[in-house]
Structure 1
């Protein structure tokens, strides 16, 4: 089972990566961001929207709120609005992560999937693991698309997360 510290570290990593990724994507003009490049959700913009949608759905489930998932639909056509929503969601994820306890992570959680309509019951820690894996999976698709465009997005590895204060031996 994962720990609350693990959840908080991945929430910080999520924010850090999203800030860096959105900064790079802001340097690309809108038609290029929205061009269908054959990814699961077509374009960079479509994939960014999907990431936001998934994060909002899982965060709502974790908090016991109503889920408003819009699979395959852009929540924000405008990149500036999408960016603002991403920042607000990352803040909400970190606030939620600060409240996670070992008991909550170990407890069973029941949810109904918006993908296949089936209701599942799993330990919360499994679903939180999926939440963060889903983010990394789709950010990886975006970095692949950026790489194919010749855009440098920098290092994406967790040990480079500034909050970890890694000791570097020279």
Structure 2
């Protein structure tokens, strides 16, 4: 299957746009409220944002060979919200840079990796795994959006077709 890298450049822009929106709303909460267990899979707004960054680091490490600190599934990378936010925004820039150098040929090749969760070696087409990284972000940002809305903080429009072209 041939996948046009332009799709991933757009998804990287969407990721940056939505990450900014989510953190702008989370900034309106107290640290206690951000870290409160709200019944989500990763409990809180804070821990769900940590999980998104954890997964981005895991996948970007596999794609680029760069070493990232990863503490494990469900373990917060950062307790301090400002440090989490800065690291997440930095990751958005790295993902955007990564998307710029993607090629059809690179995406068509397989990537072999061993899951840190179950230790099983796997091989899948890179296009599928890059798609998964962006899909994973969207899935968990949707959870964060729900938690924020329940706490009285609407992040506004989240639909890809309505993303400002200036992003």
Q: Would you call these one fold, judging by a TM-score over 0.5?
A: yes
Relative contact order higher in (CA < 8 Å, ≥ 6 apart): 2
Structure 2 counterpart SS, 1:162: coil
Q: What CA deviation, in whole Å up to 9, does each residue of 1:140-163 have, x standing for no partner?
A: 101111122222110100011112
Q: Which residue in 2 is equivalent to 1:96? A: 98
Deviation at 1:2, TM superposition (A): 2.7
Q: Secondary structure at the match of 1:110?
A: strand
Q: Residues 61 and 67 of structure 1 are in contact (CA less than 8 Å); yes or no, is this contact kept in structure 2?
A: no
Matches within 5 A, 1:87-166: 87-163=89-165
* Matched residue, 1:33: 34
Corresponding position: 1:55 with 2:56 = yes
User: C-alpha separation between the residues in 2 aligned to 1:79 and 1:45?
Assistant: 7
Unpaired segments of 5 or more residues in structure 1? Answer: 166-170
- Answer whether contact 1:69 1:114 (CA < 8 A) is retained: no
TM-score by length of 2: 0.94
Q: CA deviation at 1:67?
A: 5.6
Shift of 1:87: 1.0
Deviation at 1:40, TM superposition (A): 1.1
* TM-score, structure 1 as length reference: 0.92
Q: Distance in 2 between matches of 1:156 and 1:115?
A: 31
Aligned residues: 165
After the TM superposition, which segments of 4 or more aligned residues of structure 1 sit over 6 Å from their partners?
none
**Structure 1 CA distance for aligned equivalents of residues 56 and 158 of structure 2:** 19
